[in-house]
């Protein structure tokens, strides 16, 4: 009896599966047929209901297909409703759902961010960075985010939407197909520079405006569209955009940078960037001196380091007393700037100035750039007093080769200036003559400046 019951159950189960297959397949076929009629596609009923498909050319000339797609086999098989719409997009432009793990990274080794956190967290992109940014304005990103979680991908120039199960909603199939061709149309731009400039001006997300402006400056610096984007960027409500735009504008952007550099409430990194980005102009040089001198008294070391760097580039004189005070707290960037400023003077340094450099040299442990800069300054203007410290800097198993070379070259240069022909010989430099090139008032990176 139990065998009979089991057989009956098995037959009933099989009949139910067949009925369900026929029911689902029939509803799929009806939905595909209705969608095909709405979209102007050809309908193919196939051998079974679930093999029904629609294909053909849409009213805008794009190829489109609605069909069943199956992966795997047996109990591991999965059936999807799939819609494919062709585009004129580059075949190297790729798009998929983010979070694919290591396999996703193999397919998309260069994932790009557009500056929109919601979009970047949801979508993984591949392709030429300027083109990707240019094609993804805000409305297009909103379309994509809405579909990417449903299985939308872009590969080899085709949009493919794939959803598990056979969708029997003809309106949904039609709507998805129309949305895909709308997205394709929006992304098929012809002028990358113009599209980047438009996004840099108009996108509602500051991060996207910033990314597009930077991309313009990287790839289309001389393009007319870039000039307009730079001018507009200097009035952007976002301070990061304003700094990048003003930095690219040369003398025209000076006032924007100066205002930010002098604002104690502004972000430290942006103030530093503004100081480093200031450019010399005949109408603004006096303003540059004033801004840099104010920043040199700032309590924030990063701002002071940036002010020193700006002074070294622009040749702005820095009072020697201020340099001495700054040197005790200068970071690596500040040490490099001080070295550059002092290098611009004439003749050997005064003992107190040389001590300042030697103290910096002793304090810059493992800061190779700063050490090399200080050694180079001593090579140009150091005296025999600096030799022991330079000898120390040239030693050590872990000391970088370029540091050793800079220190040894400085020692050789000092000996050469002192008139020594034998290694290890000793000399005395007479400072009573006054270190005539430098006064007690200021030092400058300019060759006409004074210490």
Highest mean pLDDT among 113-127, 313-327, 335-349: 113-127
Contacts of 174-178 with C-beta under 8 Å, sequence gap 24+, read 174/34, 174/35, 174/38, 174/39, 176/83, 176/147, 177/35, 177/39, 177/58, 177/64, 177/66, 177/83, 177/85, 178/39
Say which residue, 435 or 132, is predicted with more confidence. 132
The number of C-alpha atoms within 13 Å of 196 and in the hemisphere containing its C-beta is: 27
DSSP classification of residue 204: S
Q: What are phi and psi of 79, to 5 degrees?
A: -115, 135
Order the strands of the 152-155 sheet from edge to edge. Answer: 42-44, 53-57, 63-71, 78-86, 158-164, 152-155, 94-97, 123-126
pLDDT surpasses 60 at 6: no
Strand 123-126 vs strand 158-164: parallel, antiparallel, or unpaired? unpaired
Say which residue, 419 or 417, is predicted with more confidence. 417
Q: Residue 101: which pLDDT band, with cuts at 50, 70 and 90? A: very low
- Determine the average pLDDT of the residues in 435-449: 39
For residue 78, the tally of other CB atoms under 10 A from its CB is 10
pLDDT of residue 231: 94
pLDDT of residue 181: 93
**Conformational region of residue 347, where left means phi above 0, alpha means psi within -120 to 50, and beta covers everything else:** left
Partners of 126 in the β-ladder: 94
- Under 8 Å CB-to-CB from 286, ≥6 apart: which residues? none
**Per-residue pLDDT reduced to its tens digit, 268-301:** 888 888 888 876 554 456 777 888 888 888 888 8
**Per-residue pLDDT reduced to its tens digit, 358-394:** 999 998 888 999 999 999 999 999 999 999 999 999 9
The answer to whether residues 112 and 89 touch, using CB atoms and an 8 Å cutoff, is no
Number of H helices, E strands in the chain: 20, 10
Cα of first residue to Cα of last residue in the chain, in angstroms, is 111
**Per-residue pLDDT reduced to its tens digit, 64-99:** 998 877 777 766 778 778 899 999 999 999 998 886
**Per-residue pLDDT reduced to its tens digit, 111-140:** 688 999 999 988 999 899 999 999 999 999
Average pLDDT of the chain is: 81
- Under 8 Å CB-to-CB from 318, ≥6 apart: which residues? 293, 296, 308, 311, 341, 442, 443, 444
Q: Residue 422: which pLDDT band, with cuts at 50, 70 and 90? A: very low
- Under 8 Å CB-to-CB from 238, ≥6 apart: which residues? 206, 209, 210
């Amino acid at each position: 009896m139990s065998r009979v019951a089991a057989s009956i159950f098995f037959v009933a189960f099989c009949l139910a599966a067949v009925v369900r297959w026929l029911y689902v397949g029939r509803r799929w076929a009806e939905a595909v047929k209705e969608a095909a009629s709405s979209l102007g596609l050809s309908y193919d009923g196939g051998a079974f209901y679930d093999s029904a498909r629609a294909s053909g050319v849409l009213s805008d000339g794009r190829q489109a297909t609605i069909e069943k797609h199956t992966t795997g086999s047996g109990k591991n098989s999965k059936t999807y409703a799939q819609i494919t719409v062709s585009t004129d997009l580059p075949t190297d432009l790729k798009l998929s759902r983010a979070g694919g793990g290591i396999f996703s990274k193999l397919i998309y080794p260069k994932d790009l961010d557009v500056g929109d956190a919601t979009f970047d967290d949801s979508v993984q992109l591949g392709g030429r960075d300027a083109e990707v940014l240019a094609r993804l304005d805000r409305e297009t990103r909103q379309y994509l985010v809405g579909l990417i979680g449903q299985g939308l991908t872009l590969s080899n120039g085709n949009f493919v939407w794939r959803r598990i199960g056979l969708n029997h909603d003809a309106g949904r199939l039609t709507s998805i197909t129309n949305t895909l061709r709308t997205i394709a149309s929006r992304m098929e731009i012809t002028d990358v520079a113009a599209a980047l400039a438009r996004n840099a001006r108009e996108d509602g997300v500051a991060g996207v405006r910033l990314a597009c402006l930077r991309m313009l400056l990287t790839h289309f610096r001389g393009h007319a569209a870039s000039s307009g984007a730079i001018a507009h960027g200097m009035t952007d409500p976002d301070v990061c955009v304003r700094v990048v735009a003003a930095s690219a504008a040369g003398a025209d952007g000076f006032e924007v940078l100066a205002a930010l550099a002098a604002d104690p409430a502004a972000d430290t990194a942006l103030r530093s960037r503004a100081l480093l980005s200031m450019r010399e102009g005949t109408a603004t040089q006096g303003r540059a001196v004033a801004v840099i001198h104010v920043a040199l008294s700032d309590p924030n070391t990063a701002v002071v380091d940036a002010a020193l760097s700006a002074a070294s580039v622009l040749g702005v004189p820095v009072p020697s007393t201020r340099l001495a005070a700054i040197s005790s707290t200068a970071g690596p960037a500040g040490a490099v700037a001080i070295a550059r400023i002092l290098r611009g003077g004439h003749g050997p340094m005064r003992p107190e100035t040389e001590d300042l450099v030697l103290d910096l040299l002793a304090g810059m442990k493992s800061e190779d750039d700063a050490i090399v800069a200080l050694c180079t300054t001593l090579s140009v203007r150091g005296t025999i007093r600096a030799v022991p410290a330079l000898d120390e800097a040239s030693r050590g198993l872990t000391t970088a080769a370029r540091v050793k070379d800079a220190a040894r070259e400085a020692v050789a240069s000092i000996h050469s200036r002192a008139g020594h022909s034998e290694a290890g010989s000793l000399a005395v430099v007479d400072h009573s003559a006054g270190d005539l090139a430098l006064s007690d008032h200021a030092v400058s990176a300019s060759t006409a400046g004074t210490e």
